[in-house]
Structure 1
Amino acid sequence: MYYVNPNIKDVVRIFPPQDRYGYLRLDMNENPEGLPQDFVDSVLKEFTPSFLATYPEPDIFMQKYADFVHVAPENICLTNGSDAAIRYTFEVFAAPGSSVVTVTPSFEMYGVNCNMLGLVHKPVPYSKDFTISVADIISAIDETTDIVALLNPNNPIGPNFTEAQARQVIDRANEVGAIVIFDEAYHYFCKDTFLLLINEYDNVIIFRTFSKLFSLAACRLGMVISNETIIEYLRKARPSFEVNALALKFAERILDHPAIFDELLSTFEAGKKHLIDSLEKHGYEYYPQSGNFIFIKPHIDANLLATNLMKEKILVKTYGNDLLKNYIRINIGAPKIMEQFMQALIKADTKEANQE
């Protein structure tokens, strides 16, 4: 019998749903509409046969992105989305059998990578009021800990960490020789960032992505930002051509057109206001988050509501754990998208709709 890594053999994976085209996709924190069509068309014209036949050359984008976030290119490692950033960071900086401290619930791939790599996952739970004890996070960090991974803001729930709280975690991690990841996938929706801390500490890593505000989830483009030493180690762990040229070209052109950034953010903010105003008007309990998503407590069972909404070609996120089982989560889109959702919600969130 051939060998199978026992860590991989025993991993339980739940992959994202398929056949989502044609639905109003509010379930996976994507931009429901995406980039402007005329912009997409203009970039597609650059994909000549010669371009597609050439291996990716990331340096042009690297310099533009470095200028955009005000760091040097040597401070950046490009990855195939945040999933790859997590995997490489764990492979490089976590010894076999060491522990990784996170919060829970959080992005599932942190726990999955712990299981695949034979690491001990130490999740610190949120309270029923959707708050987290930073003291509990610090207490979970011990001599076995090699990595602490915190999303800021967290997905799926949680307010931002303050800079003072971040420094407390970093200082404790430094005492035991651990790396601290701040995953800032949703940074642009709240504008808080710990990016400058990479200049003060030698154990801080920042994750960013082009999947959320920049609407390139299909292209898979993530960034790790840290000091030059950490970045050098991570680059050694990557394949030779980690990020595809299509992703690089689209991201480069977004940076060339800052008005697109402003338009995407303005549309999000208008959509969020429209949604919250509508939820309050109709008496819904909700939890606004710092990312591009919001939790809503429906009048009927959350899973039944999700089924009702699917009949209207609308996808929403539900959860099985006790903390979130009574809520649906949706990502925020333009005001017209939020109005479409609200009309469907009001229709579907009734016992009568469930009996149809």
Structure 2
Amino acid sequence: MKIIDYIKQDIKYLPLYQSGKPSELSMEELKVDFIKLSSNENPFGSSKTISKVLYDSLTNLHVYPDGSCTLLKQTLSKFHNIDYDQIIVGNGSDEIIDFAIQMMVQPGDEVIMANPSFIKYDLTVKKSEGKSVKVSLNDQYNHDLDQMIQKITDKTKVIFICSPNNPTGTLVNNEDLSKFIERVPSHILIVIDGAYYEYVTNLDQLYSINHVIQKDNVLLLRTFSKIYGLASLRVGYGIANKALIAMLDRVRGPFNVNALAQKGAEAALSDQNHVKRSKELNELGKHYLYKQLEEYGFSYIPTEGNFIMIQLDIDSDSVYKRMLANGIIIRSGNKLGMPNWIRVTIGKMDDNEKFISILKQIKGSVEDGGCNESE
């Protein structure tokens, strides 16, 4: 027998998370400069103030990071006007998803989530030998909250609400989410993943942090990977009442967030003008894409994020390949549970224009019979 034969079965057959293709790898493969519109990163980058802060921190790389993220938590506490011990910081909000599942789920327990939604939820549940209960989105491509309530059993331990949802960009508004939370038994943890909340047009539609910290069973996730432009540093945080944060902290490993990530996140919070400008440019790009898609007869899902799902008449993998051949990396809907759809990050205006130009070419090729699913 080999070591591979003794690996847990649920790990051996766990599907791998497939991130967007790196632009550097694509450039090397096809010898083309690439526009990456696949991973919902901020195309305008991070605040210029961060570079100096990180550079000044390089002399201390031999020193362990602050294991409690003290200064970052103090900064977040002031920023959100909440208590220091109502915050937990993770190596990306992904890690806090891990904490929540480790804390709540034993083998055979159930976790409810929308389908499609962020694949991380399902992967984490499977690692803990739990069962993912997937509830299809409604006709508006949003969470079907009534059906999620119907799926609750005595084995349910966690419910994930991704709002805005990845990949559809749809928002569960404050009123609907408040009613939903009141209907969920208090022993079930509700995780609200707000990775894209800064892009939401009307922030009054969001479930407020004050409501979160008053509940015993609600955990709100936020990240610096999206509008703050710090995806490579991997830093996110969770907000909840003090008792829940204390339990999550018991799961958290030592020194889980590196020192550069902590410094970068602190600096990012200090430059809200960058956040405001990034949101404004995202809105301009979004409405440009809306107009172009409507003009050329493409259906899409109105989004509250920095990405758009677009419906096609052909298999999305073939469109992905055509885009890649023309120097644009997008996300195939086949990887997201939505065949015949593609997800595209809203980029800089030049990038958006090139994307539309290639999409029009593909549409013309299909109408002329020159593109098919096997291409």
Q: Deviations over 1:324-344 (max 9, x none)?
A: 211111011232321222223
1:23-172 mapped onto 2 (5 Å cutoff): 23-35=34-46, 38-49=48-59, 51-57=60-66, 58-127=69-138, 129-157=140-168, 159-172=170-183
Q: Deviations over 1:213-241 (max 9, x none)?
A: 11111111110110111111111111110
Contact 1:207–1:224, Cα closer than 8 Å, also in 2: yes
What secondary structure sits across from 2:150 in the alignment?
helix
Contact 2:86–2:239, Cα closer than 8 Å, also in 1: yes
From the superposition, tell whether residues 296 and 274 of structure 1 become closer, same or farther in structure 2 (CA, over 3 Å): same
Contact 1:305–1:349, Cα closer than 8 Å, also in 2: no
Contact 1:275–1:335, Cα closer than 8 Å, also in 2: no
Give the percent of matched residue pairs that are identical in Structure 1 and Structure 2: 27
Contact 2:221–2:238, Cα closer than 8 Å, also in 1: yes
Q: Deviations over 1:173-221 (max 9, x none)?
A: 225x211111101111113432222233111100111111111111111
1:182-331 mapped onto 2 (5 Å cutoff): 182-190=192-200, 191=203, 192-194=205-207, 195-298=209-312, 300-320=314-334, 324-331=338-345
Paired letter, 1:282: Y
User: What 5-or-longer segments of structure 1 have no aligned partner?
Assistant: none
Which of residues 1, 4, 7 is equivalent to 1:4? 7
Aligned mates of 1:304, 1:18 — CA distance in 2: 16
Contact 2:87–2:237, Cα closer than 8 Å, also in 1: yes
Paired letter, 1:15: Q
Q: Deviations over 1:269-307 (max 9, x none)?
A: 121122222222333222222111111224544222211
Instruction: Name the counterpart of 1:347.
Output: 361
Q: Deviations over 1:79-128 (max 9, x none)?
A: 11122111110001223321101110010111111111011111111245
> Greater shift after overlay, 99-108 or 252-261?
252-261
Instruction: Name the counterpart of 1:13.
Output: 16
Aligned mates of 1:297, 1:96 — CA distance in 2: 38
Normalised TM-score (structure 1): 0.91
Contact 2:50–2:267, Cα closer than 8 Å, also in 1: no
Q: Deviations over 1:108-162 (max 9, x none)?
A: 1111111110111111112455244321111111211111111111111263223
User: What 5-or-longer segments of structure 2 have no aligned partner?
Assistant: 28-33
Paired letter, 1:294: I
Instruction: Name the counterpart of 2:31.
Output: none
Paired letter, 2:152: I
Aligned mates of 1:40, 1:321 — CA distance in 2: 33
Aligned mates of 2:160, 2:309 — CA distance in 1: 23
Which of residues 191, 200, 206 is equivalent to 1:181? 191
Give aligned pairs, total: 353
> Greater shift after overlay, 151-160 or 127-136?
127-136
Aligned mates of 1:256, 1:321 — CA distance in 2: 36
Aligned mates of 1:167, 1:32 — CA distance in 2: 33
